[in-house]
Structure 1
Amino acid sequence: MNLTSQLHETAKNSAEKIAYYFMGKSSTYAELDAAITKFASGLEKLGVKQGDHIALLLGNSPHFVISLYGALRLGATVIPVNPIYTQDEIGYILNNGDVKVVVGLDMMIPLAEKVHTHLPKVEHFIICETDQKGLEQPGVENLSVYSKMKSFTDTVASGDITFKGPELQDDDNAIILYTSGTTGKPKGAMLTHKNLYSNAKDIGDYLKMNSDDKVITVLPMFHVFCLTVALNAPLLSGASLLIEPKFSPKEIFRITKEYKATVFAGVPTMYNFLYQFPESNPEDLQSLRLCISGGASLPVALLKNFEQKFNVLISEGYGLSEASPVTCFNPLDRPRKAGSIGTSILNVENKVVNELGEEVPVGEVGELIVRGPNVMKGYYKMPEETAATIRDGWLYTGDMARMDEQGYFYIVDRKKDLVIVGGYNVYPREVEEVIYNHPDIVEVAVLGIPDPNQGEAVAAYVVSKNPDVTAEQLLAYCKEHLAKYKVPTTIEFLEELPKNTTGKILRRALKKQVTQQV
């Protein structure tokens, strides 16, 4: 079984069940499956074959769902791309990923005009129209690129509803997810049909998703967190998606009440915005049975404040692109532990090891490694990086963690973010947790900065809701709660912290920003 065949089965058995709501409209599973089938057939008529690579430059929309599942039904490999990436970033992924077809909004037309000569392998640009003009827009002057453009609507309309598609193998590539590239050029993690299906099914079962659920899908669909937890898992469970094109606290509260949403998945920044939203009421989220947090560590103070205010449980989990992505989640049938990423999910094994790959004793810090049916095949065209990351069947995550006596894991920090002060290890998250507990702090990020005496020193960059709070006051607060070598030597106030499209705070972008100011 795979994602697209399971959706086809759901469409046969629950044809009139609503698959998604979007911008005031809805689609049944039968209607969605028909569009997927016809899009797959339309791609084949354009010359797309099993194994070809198709990039999606799309935000959250039915276009994304239809394109993703349609391409998979044809046996093509999908490469989701953040549509707000720069021209150079997009060009690198399309070239490195050997992309044959690009699916994007009509806003992509000017970009296609500029870069198409540098993308010799791209044969078609399929444009998802956002207005009635279709492709007949001013500005399309380059006939060679215009000849490559096809309408999404026409592609679907040209398809055959009886299209069957090839037989898909478990080990065939389904998606290539490019990592954020914090340590160099992005790497493409090759995820197979088995990787994606197993993780979506296991996390859906773990979180008890079912056909009665209505899942708010507001995380970016091109990001692996949303892809598995808020898109694939709900569709495998026969649930309904509440697709939101962008995050807005006001809109989240509205749709939760209007549609009686049952599941919300978000990153810590989203929970912070929801908690801080001045017009919110404790009853606003009463229909939710579960909130899911991932993408970054959720500060314990925020978790407790949010749960107390809205009376809804937040279950924190952990994952990474290379693991499709989920490896751990706080279980629903046992106590949730604040600050923990939970226990290993079904069919996935996690353990904490030292630099020799040996498992460390309970409570000790080491690197988290993972194995299971969700672990990627490898990095696309990067055998050396693959060999360094997957060893003896284990995926080395690069995250520092510890495990307690009950098998709950705790992320301490990224291995590369570790700050070494005079030979002592300082994990930024530990310092951030303390500062988050201060009542005037909205956000904080901690970095290591060069220090002539200690090698490195701790620096904290904070966003405060109180303009009167001072660095001296925060410093005194830290001294009360942290060992001396962990106390920041620098505390700087910023209007906002740099974040990626999922709302994750970007320490490296902050470090670059700070360096440029010096």
Structure 2
Amino acid sequence: MNLSDQLSMTAKNHLRKTAYIFQDDEKTYQELEGAVTKFASSLQNLGYGKGDHIGLVVGNTPHFVIGLYGALRAGVTVIPINPIYTADEISYIVNNGDVKGIITLDVLLEKFEKMDKMLPKVEHYITGETSPDFAVKNSPLGAKLKPFTQLVLEGSLELDRPVLNDDDAAVILYTSGTTGKPKGAILTHKNLYSNAKDVADYLHISTEDKVLAALPMFHVFCLTVALNAPLMNGGTVLIMPKFSPDTVFKVMKQYELTVFAGVPTMYNYLLQYPNGNAADLESIRLCISGGAAMPEALLKNFEKKFNVVISEGYGLSEASPVTCFNPLDRPRKVGSIGPSIVNVENKVVDELGEEVPIGEVGELVVRGPNVMKGYYKLPEESAAALKDGWLYTGDMAKMDEDGYFYIVDRKKDLILVGGYNVYPREVEEVLYSNPKLAEVAVIGTPDPNTGEAVQAFVVLKENEQATQEELLAFCSERLAKYKVPKKMEFLEELPKNTTGKILRRSLKEIIKK
């Protein structure tokens, strides 16, 4: 089974059920299934099939859903790309990923017109219309340009479906590349299907659920949890073009949404938004947090204000992504990412790959049907990440006696102060407990005496004031001396990527300046 076949099965059982809502326009599973098949047919007519790669450079729109499932149905491997990437970033992924065609939007067309010479392998730009005024006749791309809507309209419902094997590449996700160039994680049809099914079943997602897709769909968290999993079980996806606290509260109440998935930064924005109240979230049965560790103070304050429970999970692109999640049928543990989900194994190991005792910190490793095939055209990096069937995540973690895991920090973010280990998250948790602070990030900086020193970056809440001395004293009361930041820098906002994850590497660049 794969995502494309599963959509056909879901549509057969729920023809008139709403599959997605976009800007108040509702489409049924029957309509989505038809659009996907027709788009796949048109791709085949353009010469696309198994072995070809297509770039999906669109925001949160129906074009993403139809483009993804249509390409998969035609046997084409999809490479989702962040549409706000620069020309250099996009061209690297497109060229490295051997992309034959690009699905994009009219509002991004000018960018690709300027980039076309940088993309010698690209044969077509399939352009989705966001405006009725869209016209292609004057584009320098000429015959390379194909209107998305026209391909859907002209496609056939009689499709010669290719045989899709479990091990065939379905999606290549380029990781954000905290060091060096991004790497393309090859996710197979089995990887994506198994994780979507296991997540949907684990979270009890049903036809009654309405899930808000406010995270970027090109990111694996949204792709699996807020898109593939709901479509697996006949749920409805509300596609939000761009995250906005005001719009989130509005649509939650308007459509009586039942599931919200977000990163901690999004929860922080919702908490700080002055007009949000518990009544807006009355229909929500499940709040999911992932992508980064949720500060305990933020979790408790959000739950108290909105009368909901936030369940944390964990995942990474290379695992499609979910490996752990706090269960819904057992007690949730604050600060934990939960136990392993069904069909997936996690364990904590030392430098030699041996499992460490309960409560001790080591590297989290995972195996299961969701783990990637490898990195595209990078055999050495693949061998370093995949050892003896286990994926080495690069995250430091510990496990308790009940099998619940706790992320301590990224292995590469560990700060060594005079030989002592300092995990940034521990310091951040202390600072987040200060009622004057809205956002916090901690990194290590070079120090001539101790090797590294702890540096904190903080954002004050609106109308609050604090001094460096005051915050350092606050930390000194709650942390061992070597864990206390040596310096505290005040910013108006922390740098983040499009999913809201704080960019520590950008903070290090601030120091260099």
CA separation in 2, counterparts of 1:84 and 1:392? Answer: 37
Q: How does 1:120-135 map to 2 (within 5 A)?
A: 120-135=120-135
User: 1:469: Cα distance to partner?
Assistant: 1.1
CA separation in 2, counterparts of 1:29 and 1:509? Answer: 42
After superposition, the C-alpha distances for 1:193-214 in whole angstroms (9 at most, x for unaligned) are: 0000000000111111111000
Give 2:351's aligned amino acid.
Answer: E
Q: Percent identity?
A: 68
- 1:293 maps to 289
Question: 3-state SS of the aligned residue for 1:420?
Answer: strand
Question: 3-state SS of the aligned residue for 1:407?
Answer: coil
- 2:109 maps to 109
CA separation in 2, counterparts of 1:346 and 1:366? Answer: 22
User: 1:137: Cα distance to partner?
Assistant: 6.4
CA separation in 1, counterparts of 2:375 and 2:176? Answer: 13
Question: 3-state SS of the aligned residue for 2:20?
Answer: strand
- 2:413 maps to 417
User: 1:110: Cα distance to partner?
Assistant: 1.6
Give 1:430's aligned amino acid.
Answer: E
Question: 3-state SS of the aligned residue for 2:477?
Answer: helix
TM-score (norm 1): 0.98
CA separation in 2, counterparts of 1:108 and 1:272? Answer: 30
- 1:513 maps to 510
Counterpart of 2:217 (choices 210, 218, 221) is 221
How many matched pairs?
512
CA separation in 2, counterparts of 1:118 and 1:304? Answer: 49
Counterpart of 2:479 (choices 468, 482, 494) is 482
Q: How does 1:24-423 map to 2 (within 5 A)?
A: 24-136=24-136, 140=139, 142=140, 145-423=141-419
After superposition, the C-alpha distances for 1:43-85 in whole angstroms (9 at most, x for unaligned) are: 1111112221010000001110000000000010000000000
Q: Is the 8 A contact 1:170 1:193 kept in 2?
A: yes
Question: 3-state SS of the aligned residue for 1:343?
Answer: coil
CA separation in 2, counterparts of 1:106 and 1:509? Answer: 31
User: 1:281: Cα distance to partner?
Assistant: 1.5
CA separation in 2, counterparts of 1:481 and 1:164? Answer: 65
- 1:434 maps to 430
CA separation in 2, counterparts of 1:265 and 1:307? Answer: 15
Q: Is the 8 A contact 1:135 1:151 kept in 2?
A: no
User: 1:136: Cα distance to partner?
Assistant: 3.2
Q: Is the 8 A contact 1:170 1:192 kept in 2?
A: yes
After superposition, the C-alpha distances for 1:395-434 in whole angstroms (9 at most, x for unaligned) are: 0000000001111100000000000000000000000000
User: 1:10: Cα distance to partner?
Assistant: 1.2
Question: 3-state SS of the aligned residue for 1:15?
Answer: coil
- 1:18 maps to 18
* Structure 2 unaligned regions, length at least 5: none
- 1:473 maps to 470
Question: 3-state SS of the aligned residue for 2:298?
Answer: helix
Q: Is the 8 A contact 2:56 2:103 kept in 1?
A: yes
CA separation in 2, counterparts of 1:109 and 1:472? Answer: 51
Q: Is the 8 A contact 1:134 1:151 kept in 2?
A: no
Which moves more between the two structures, 75-84 or 48-57?
48-57
Give 2:386's aligned amino acid.
Answer: I
After superposition, the C-alpha distances for 1:326-351 in whole angstroms (9 at most, x for unaligned) are: 00000011110111111000000000
Give 2:381's aligned amino acid.
Answer: E
TM-score (norm 2): 0.99
The alignment's C-alpha RMSD in Å is: 0.9
User: 1:162: Cα distance to partner?
Assistant: 1.6
Q: Is the 8 A contact 2:436 2:465 kept in 1?
A: no
CA separation in 2, counterparts of 1:50 and 1:273? Answer: 43
Question: 3-state SS of the aligned residue for 1:125?
Answer: strand
After superposition, the C-alpha distances for 1:224-280 in whole angstroms (9 at most, x for unaligned) are: 000000000000011000110011111111111111100000000010011111011
Question: 3-state SS of the aligned residue for 1:481?
Answer: coil
Give 1:82's aligned amino acid.
Answer: N
User: 1:394: Cα distance to partner?
Assistant: 0.3
CA separation in 2, counterparts of 1:38 and 1:45? Answer: 11
